[in-house]
Structure 1
Amino acid sequence: MTTPQLVQQIKAKKSFLCIGLDVDLTKIPTHLLELEDPVFEFNKCIIDATHDLCVAYKPNTAFYEAYGLKGWQSLEKTIKYINEKHPDIFTIADAKRGDIGNTSSMYAKAFLRDLNFDSVTVAPYMGKDSVEPFLAFENKHTIMLALTSNEGAFDFQTLNVGGQELYKQVLETSRTWKNSNNLMYVIGATKSEYFTEIRKIVPDSFLLVPGVGAQGGSLQEVCKYGMNKNVGLLINSSRGIIYASDKTNFAEKAREEALKMQQEMEIILKS
């Protein structure tokens, strides 16, 4: 998917919501556990109930890898279902990969070609040659960790290194890499006070923003400081939507929560 196509979806749906499909078998409705593939069936119901309210889905691969081969098959079925039923929706493999060049090439092939995700998250700690293999795929996007929403982000990301915070150096350096126009960045919603400075470095890039809702981030604050002329934001919500209910009406309740966020986003877009 190209960036203009993503922007068009945002305008059409009046939404920049990304729903995280992080499936924990201990949290899903118990009646699904009787089915052959409860993870996929849960995802399918969530997708059917919310696809018109969001512009992206983001499975965190850890929640599939934890169940071995069956989990990987569930992930494969999930991405195939989205691509076939809702090809307009942007898909994110939240895998946080990052390794030496030839290994990154295999990771990139796995997620961007074989599974056919639109994007994949990566960790930049090993530098250019660990990220550029992902950037080589045409009309695919690499979403690089920059300033995350967890408490431990302050251990390294905001350290002053040579007169500048490390996360700023990461942002600036990444712009010099080959095909850097395919880069997006993960910026935590709990760090809304940093968005103004971030936009000075990457004014046109899309930012994937976790941390709104359950982790305490403010949608209004993120939009105030982080939105650009093309919106430039994908606001992720996982637990707050997919686990709105553990009863048989879980999909209906998930839709209700997604609708609340979409309506709030629509108001922001109008203003």
Structure 2
Amino acid sequence: MNFFEKYLLLAEKNNSRLCVGIDPDPSRIPPGVTMREFLLSVVESTSDLVCSYKPNIAFFEREGIEGIALLNELITIIPREIPVILDAKRGDIGHTGEAYATAIFDRMNADAVTVNPYLGRDSVSPFFNRPEKGVFVLCKTSNPGSSDFQDLLVGESNQPLFLHVARQAQEWNINGNIGLVVGATYPEEAALLRSEGVDLPFLIPGVGAQSGDLEAVISSSSDRNGGGFIINSSRGILYAWEEGTAGDPGCAPGGWQDSIRQASEQTRSDIMATLDR
């Protein structure tokens, strides 16, 4: 079973297109709670609501050896039926790419990874040459600076670079295991990709803290079958406890876990309700 088959099984079981991003910020963890306790509780509180998890490796690397050990433990503890997308944005020359792929897929046991295609095919082929693993190629990212390069008009067709990246990724997709990272903050660009025949699945960050419009995202990103996307929310779920619910600051025993679960339930419900319209 490859990554996308695993994802589709769980998406149907949990009636979910929600990927919870795991970007731990020590300054935003509830008082008196360790990072380990926080992250394990996030998984426990949301595992029946998600179609995948997406830990961002940078937030673990920042903590040094202890952080990497925690990432490994987290991936081990996440139920195996739940796909894990490691947000690492790797991309380097061939033999270095092989080392990255070995680390991510064989040592950390991630099911999928995000990659940067800037160095070309040989920099990402070590990842997509693993048929059972998923690979999400950065295409049109959610950050404001993405336009610096991704929107440049290039080639004889004078079309944006992100469209060329998407078409190239389709050519690389010989194993049926490639998707694209397309930010929620750029629904018009997502619609352009679909209108130009790009049918790869989209991993969509930027819903929640980055203010992506959910209805616009889904209408522009859906493929011909009405699916074809995974919507990621990170800070809007992890740190929902900071706002609390119904006047509860979220710091009472069980309060912050409840806030995280409620935020996940609401996000999943919003996604599925919008999808059903």
Tell me the TM-score range normalised by the shorter chain: over 0.9
Match for residue 124 of structure 1 among 117, 125, 128:
117
Amino acid at match of 2:146: A
CA distance in 1 between counterparts of 2:173 and 2:166 reads 14
In structure 1, the residue matched to 2:5 is 4
Helix, strand or coil at the partner of 1:260? helix
Report the aligned-residue RMSD: 1.5
Preserved contact between residue 146 and residue 167 of structure 1 (Cα < 8 Å): yes
Percent sequence identity over aligned pairs: 37
What is the CA–CA distance in structure 1 between the aligned matches of 2:19 and 2:173, rounded to whole Å? 27
Gaps of 5+ in 2: 243-250
Aligned pair in 2 of structure 1 residues 220, 176: CA closer, same or farther (>3 Å)? same
How does the TM-score come out when normalised to structure 1? Answer: 0.92
* 1:257 pairs with 2:263: yes
* Aligned partner of residue 125 in structure 1, secondary structure: helix
CA offsets per residue over residues 144-172 of structure 1, 9 Å max, x none? 10000101001000011121111111111
Give the deviation of 1:215 after TM superposition: 0.8
Contact map agreement 2:20 2:52 (CA 8 A) in 1: yes
Aligned length: 263
CA-to-partner distance for each residue in 1:47-84, whole Å, 9 max, x for gaps?
100111111111100000001000000000000001xx
Distance 2:25 2:32 in 1: 14
Query: Given that residues 171 and 201 in structure 1 are in contact (C-alpha distance below 8 angstroms), is that contact kept between their aligned partners in structure 2?
Result: no
Could you say what secondary structure the match of 2:43 adopts? helix
* 1:22-66 Cα deviation digits (max 9, x unpaired): 11111101211xxxxx22221110010011111111110000000
Kept after mapping to 2: 8 A contact 1:122/1:131: yes
Report the equivalent of 1:208.
Answer: 203
Structure 2 residue corresponding to 1:159, chosen from 141, 147, 152: 152
Counterpart-to-counterpart distance in 2, 1:245 and 1:91 = 24
1:178 CA displacement: 6.2
**Relative to 1, partners in 2 of residues 1:50 and 1:211: Cα closer, same or farther, differing over 3 Å?**
same
Deviation at 1:119, TM superposition (A): 0.4
The answer to whether residue 24 in structure 2 is matched with residue 23 in structure 1 is yes
- For residues 44 and 178 of structure 1, the distance between their equivalents in structure 2, rounded to whole angstroms, comes to 34
Q: Which amino acid aligns with 1:122?
A: V
Supply the distance in 2 between the matched residues of 1:238 and 1:12 (Cα, whole angstroms). Answer: 22
Deviation (angstroms), 1:251 = 1.4
Q: C-alpha deviations, 1:170-191, integer Å up to 9, x for none?
A: 1112222263521111000000
Contact 1:172 1:201 (C-alpha < 8 Å) held by counterparts = no
Residue in 2 that maps onto 1:35: none
Identify the match of residue 108 of structure 2 among 110, 115, 126. 115
- 1:43 paired with 2:65, answer no
CA drift of 1:21 comes to 0.7
1:63 corresponds to which letter in structure 2? Answer: F
1:145-184 → structure 2 map (5 Å cutoff): 145-162=138-155, 163-177=158-172, 179=174, 181-184=176-179
Q: Displacement of 1:235 after TM fit?
A: 0.6
Q: Does the 8 Å CA contact 2:6/2:83 hold for their aligned counterparts? A: no
